[in-house]
Structure 1
Amino acid sequence: MPLLVHGVVPRTPRLDDAAFGDVDAPTLVAGGDLAAIVTEVAEDDLVPSRRMLLRHTQVVEAAAKQTTVVPMRFGVAVPSADRLVEDFLAPAAERLTATIQRLQGHQEYRLRGRYDEPAALRAVLAADPRAARLHGRRGMDAKLELGERVVQGLERRRATDTARALEALRPVVSDVVETAVTDPLDVFALSLLVASDAEDGFDRAVESVAESLAPEVKLELVGPMPAYSFVEEEG
């Protein structure tokens, strides 16, 4: 039966089965100084599904509460424990060990900024007299030009607002991954690697960002979670 690989941890810890709750506890496949967290899985269950993705996430998160985990993306599977050690753990040992050392004592948070549409529109109109004059006109040409100017105004604000957020956050985080946004009202999507002993400062920095960007920008903070965004893709 294939093995689904959830993550890689240092070999020394023994994971507490009780920590996995109603999810079947995984097993560890050791190779050198590392161990892979795995569960046996039927071939049919390798097809992505909400149930299997949720199970994978629960396993990674439960393990991360006990030790440092290098999370694998869902769907990384191997035919046997021997192949897992020979084809993955042994060849990647140096890189995986370095990643574990970098992630030790850290957790990931995700911070999303999104424009409050009425407040952002007011700010754009206040900064663009031409857009303000066009606002409220009924003609199609006026509406099209206004729409273009609003989009351009938000693009200019997005660059500035993102820079302000990063300036406040970089001193209190160990790493940042910025994901491109596609919705016109999205400002930024940041994955932040935060050390456990820096969380108080991080909380204060997020509060500072929220205050400085209000009322135009609303923030959504998710976490803590395993450091999914700070490992290389595997498989």
Structure 2
Amino acid sequence: MSATAEPRTTGGDPGTGAWLHGVVREVTPAALAVTAGLDGVPVRVVRAAGLAAVVSGVSLSGYGEEAMRRNLEDLAWLERTARVHHAVVDGLSRAGAVVPARLATVHRDDDHLARVLVERCAELTATLDRLDGREEWGVKGYLVPGATPRAEAAPSGGGGAGAAYLRRRRAQLTARDEGQRVAAEAAAAVHDALTGYAVAARRHAPQDRRLSGAATAMVLNGAYLLDSTGVDGFAALLRTLGDRHPEIRLEPTGPWPAYSFVAEEPTTEPAHPVREPAADAARGPAWR
């Protein structure tokens, strides 16, 4: 099937690339109008092989390889840009299945992107079929201090104040280690139960407290692909699991576009490869 691309709004400027937000089967003007793309410019569509790639036109002077390397080290730029990228993908997901692109997937021009859509038509179509009528939900689990069995108090003994301090300190460390062990086991049990309910599941690495903003350590960072008709049952199961495992606090998030359930490789090859800024940014928004 031959590739076709819609006329550019940029006048064919050779210094303009296409930042890919996501791929859908079709997109309406109303869906495109939900949010602006990068730098406040309206998003546009590149069509090929029966697929529609939604992109932002970007200047390669600001989004080329060297510029991107600098930008991805700027946390303020990264967060601002990722929020816009997610807003576009989220708007598309509300109208139907979407294959989200990884952050910073930039093509040198529309023709290159159209060729890739043709080359990966079977893969992208199969992914859209798998995601149709489904949505991603996240569950984060946080350690609840004091909700786990406490270690028995160390027996009193001689040795003076120094020895008593060491006994107390040993007891505190034992209790902390036991609490972390029990919380880890609870997180694994919760994930197994949710996985059994979901269509598919992924367990991501826990976020650092500086990223999660939580007062206690994260022990579960799970993503679950659900049939849209099964969300209420999932919520009921999560409440049951929360009552069963008070040693962790469970926090659901969603629904999200299915960031966690697309191929590990980018859905289209970047024309300007860049180092992924972080695992969460590579699969979706880190501020869930």
TM above 0.5, yes or no, is: yes
- Give the aligned partner of residue 253 of structure 2: 222
CA contact (8 A) 1:60 1:71 kept: yes
Equivalent-residue separation in structure 2 for 1:180 and 1:34 (angstroms): 33
Structure 1 residue 195, shift from structure 2 partner: 1.2
Structure 1 residue 51, shift from structure 2 partner: 2.4
CA contact (8 A) 1:13 1:67 kept: no
Task: State the SS of the aligned residue for 1:41.
Answer: strand
Amino acid in the other structure paired with 2:251: E
Q: As a proportion of its length, which structure holds more helix?
A: 1
Q: Deviations along 1:73-123, whole A, 9 cap, x unmatched?
A: 11100011111122x212222211111111111111111111122x23xx2
RMSD (CA atoms): 2.6
- Give the aligned partner of residue 6 of structure 1: 21
Equivalent-residue separation in structure 1 for 2:165 and 2:207 (angstroms): 26
Amino acid in the other structure paired with 1:14: T
Structure 1 residue 18, shift from structure 2 partner: 3.0
Structure 1 residue 228, shift from structure 2 partner: 0.7
- Give the aligned partner of residue 132 of structure 2: 104
Equivalent-residue separation in structure 1 for 2:171 and 2:193 (angstroms): 33
Q: TM-score, normalized by length of structure 2?
A: 0.69
Equivalent-residue separation in structure 1 for 2:91 and 2:207 (angstroms): 32
Instruction: Out of 97-106 and 16-25, give the one that drifted further.
Output: 16-25
CA contact (8 A) 1:116 1:218 kept: yes
Task: State the SS of the aligned residue for 1:19.
Answer: coil
Equivalent-residue separation in structure 2 for 1:229 and 1:187 (angstroms): 18
- Give the aligned partner of residue 117 of structure 2: 89
User: For 1:81-160, what aligned pairs fall within 5 Å after superposition?
Assistant: 81-86=110-115, 88-117=116-145, 119-120=146-147, 123-125=148-150, 128-129=151-152, 132-133=153-154, 141-142=166-167, 145-160=170-185
CA contact (8 A) 1:105 1:195 kept: yes
Unaligned runs of at least 5 residues, structure 2: 1-15, 209-215, 271-288
Task: State the SS of the aligned residue for 2:119.
Answer: coil
Amino acid in the other structure paired with 1:72: A
Task: State the SS of the aligned residue for 2:135.
Answer: strand
CA contact (8 A) 1:165 1:209 kept: yes
Unaligned runs of at least 5 residues, structure 1: none
CA contact (8 A) 2:21 2:101 kept: yes
